[in-house]
């Protein structure tokens, strides 16, 4: 649910509406009426299955950690995110979790929160600069590496592939792109990569894929840096009579990132071949876990955690909890040294919705 910035004209009715829109509501002192700390959680967008799943997981984990939520949605707009943070500050939150999609432009907002001693946890993305209590994300370079290894194995080290990049203003887009390119150059020099910037826009991705396939009909692989491109990619392949099973010589091997239910279904049906499961459930859980820890004054150090992840030190004063993100395929095989889980493995969050 979304926090609004309404002026309270009629105290009774509008206060009730505001409480509903901000999930649990709370006092300006940073605690709800029941004494639970109030925290702010900005959702970066609600136009993808991945982020909608993250949104749905968050209230239950807030309850588990004894937190009351005030929520906003910045809709992939850093200016809106900045405005949302001002609203949350005015509501007296004791901590903020956010997923800034422009990881450079968020710096002034982080400075403001730091000055007010409001701890910040960033989810999925890591800011280029600024004070953050903990970053919760998976190793995005590993995403690009796993996609590269999978396609390299499937193509036998030769051929052409298209990489549908995210936004290179985002650390995620840069990490996935650089790792994929580095891996291809080092291990599969006979594979040509057509890198296409898409700004996480599915329509742009589909148009660029169509252009590449028209110019290079012998393309045999596609790496989508997120499931934002899934529907458009399938549509383009279908239009070109390339949406065929993996045993058909015309098959184009497709690997994605996210692990949403639709991807898992498509893997099982042979429409795409692999994905890297980004843990939407664990992003929600550990964003709130670390906010509660920050409020309680706890500290952390680099090393293994008790939840199958590793905390690394990115730079002085900045820690990142890198959660597990496995490769997922139809057969659960190993591809050039990278093991995978089967698409129906019940440990995958996406299978909860199948």
Average pLDDT rounded to a whole number, residues 36-63? 95
Beta-strand ranges (E) seen in the chain are 38-43, 68-73, 96-98, 120-123, 134-138, 158-165, 190-197, 221-224, 253-258, 274-277, 303-304, 310-315, 318-323, 327-329, 334-335, 338-342
CA distance 116 to 107: 14
Those residues whose C-beta lies under 8 Å from the C-beta of residue 259, and which sit 6 or more positions away, are 50, 275, 276, 277, 278, 279, 280, 325, 328, 348, 349, 350
Question: What does the pLDDT look like over 227-272, one tens digit per residue?
Answer: 999 999 999 999 999 999 999 999 999 999 999 999 999 999 999 9
CA distance 68 to 122: 18
Residues 312 and 244 in one domain: no
Is 129 inside a domain boundary? no
Looking at residue 30, its pLDDT comes to 62
pLDDT over 90 (residue 332) = yes
Overall number of domains in the chain: 2
pLDDT over 70 (residue 27) = no
Is 209 inside a domain boundary? yes
Looking at residue 31, its pLDDT comes to 62
CA separation, residue 254 to residues 156, 168, 280 (Å): 15, 21, 21
Question: What does the pLDDT look like over 278-328, one tens digit per residue?
Answer: 999 999 999 999 999 999 999 999 999 999 999 999 999 999 999 989 999
Looking at residue 16, its pLDDT comes to 35
Structural domain span for residue 267:
140-277+326-353
pLDDT over 90 (residue 17) = no
* 39 and 97 Cβ atoms separated by less than 8 Å: yes
Residues 233 and 293 in one domain: no
Residues 120 and 214 in one domain: no
Is 4 inside a domain boundary? no
Is 130 inside a domain boundary? no
Burial call 275-307: b when 16+ CB within 10 Å, e when fewer? bbbbbbbbbbbbbbbbbbbbbeeeeeeeeeeee
pLDDT over 50 (residue 2) = no
pLDDT over 50 (residue 25) = no
Residues 241 and 337 in one domain: yes
Is 1 inside a domain boundary? no
Residues 110 and 151 in one domain: no
User: Which DSSP helix (H) or strand (E) runs through 35?
Assistant: none
Tokens at 61, concatenated: 């984990």
CA distance 25 to 38: 8
Residues 158 and 222 in one domain: yes
pLDDT over 90 (residue 102) = no
119: nearest Cα among 287, 304, 326, 316 = 287
Tokens at 262, concatenated: 């639709």
Residues 94 and 47 in one domain: yes
Residues 148 and 273 in one domain: yes
* % of residues, the chain, pLDDT over 70: 90
Cα 82 to chain centroid distance, Å, stands at 20
Residues 297 and 260 in one domain: no
Residues 335 and 236 in one domain: yes
CATH number at residue 93: 3.40.50.2300
**Sign of the dihedral defined by the CA atoms of residues 235, 236, 242, 247, in that order:** negative
For residue 32, what pLDDT band results from cuts at 50, 70 and 90?
low
Looking up tokens 């909608």 gives 52
Is 348 inside a domain boundary? yes
> 13-27, 83-97, 151-165, 235-249 — which is least confidently predicted?
13-27
Those residues whose C-beta lies under 8 Å from the C-beta of residue 243, and which sit 6 or more positions away, are 234, 237, 271
Is 134 inside a domain boundary? no
CA-based Rg of the chain, rounded to a whole angstrom? 21
Is 292 inside a domain boundary? yes
């Amino acid at each position: 649910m979304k926090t609004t910035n309404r002026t309270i004209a009629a105290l009774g009715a509008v206060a009730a509406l505001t409480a509903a829109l901000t999930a649990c509501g709370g006092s300006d002192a940073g605690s709800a009426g029941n004494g639970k700390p109030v925290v702010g959680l900005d959702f970066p967008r609600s136009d993808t299955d991945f982020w909608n799943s993250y949104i749905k997981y968050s209230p239950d984990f807030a309850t588990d950690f004894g937190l009351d939520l005030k929520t906003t949605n910045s809709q992939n707009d850093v200016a809106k995110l900045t405005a949302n943070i001002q609203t949350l500050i005015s509501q007296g939150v004791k901590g903020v979790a956010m997923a800034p999609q422009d990881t450079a432009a968020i710096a002034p907002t982080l400075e403001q929160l730091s000055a007010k001693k409001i701890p910040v946890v960033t989810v999925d993305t890591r800011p280029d600069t600024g004070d953050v209590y903990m970053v919760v994300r998976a190793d995005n370079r590993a995403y690009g590496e796993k996609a590269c290894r999978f396609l390299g194995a499937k193509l036998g080290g030769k051929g052409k592939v298209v990489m549908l990049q995210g936004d290179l203003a985002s650390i995620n887009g840069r990490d996935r792109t650089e790792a994929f390119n580095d891996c291809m150059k080092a291990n599969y020099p006979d594979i040509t990569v057509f890198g296409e910037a898409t700004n996480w826009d599915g329509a742009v991705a589909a148009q660029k894929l169509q252009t590449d396939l028209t110019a290079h009909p012998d393309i045999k692989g596609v790496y989508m840096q997120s499931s934002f491109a899934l529907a458009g990619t399938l549509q383009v392949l279908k239009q070109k009579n390339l949406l065929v099973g993996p045993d058909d010589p015309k098959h184009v091997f497709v690997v994605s990132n996210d692990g949403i239910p639709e991807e898992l279904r498509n893997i099982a049906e042979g429409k795409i071949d692999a994905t890297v499961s980004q843990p939407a459930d664990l992003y929600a859980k550990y964003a709130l876990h670390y906010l509660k820890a920050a409020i309680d004054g706890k500290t952390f150090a680099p090393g293994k955690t008790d939840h199958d992840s590793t905390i690394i030190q990115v730079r002085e004063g900045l820690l990142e909890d890198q959660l597990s993100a496995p490769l997922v395929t139809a057969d659960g095989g190993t591809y050039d040294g990278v093991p995978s889980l089967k698409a129906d493995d019940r440990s995958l969050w996406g299978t909860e919705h199948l």
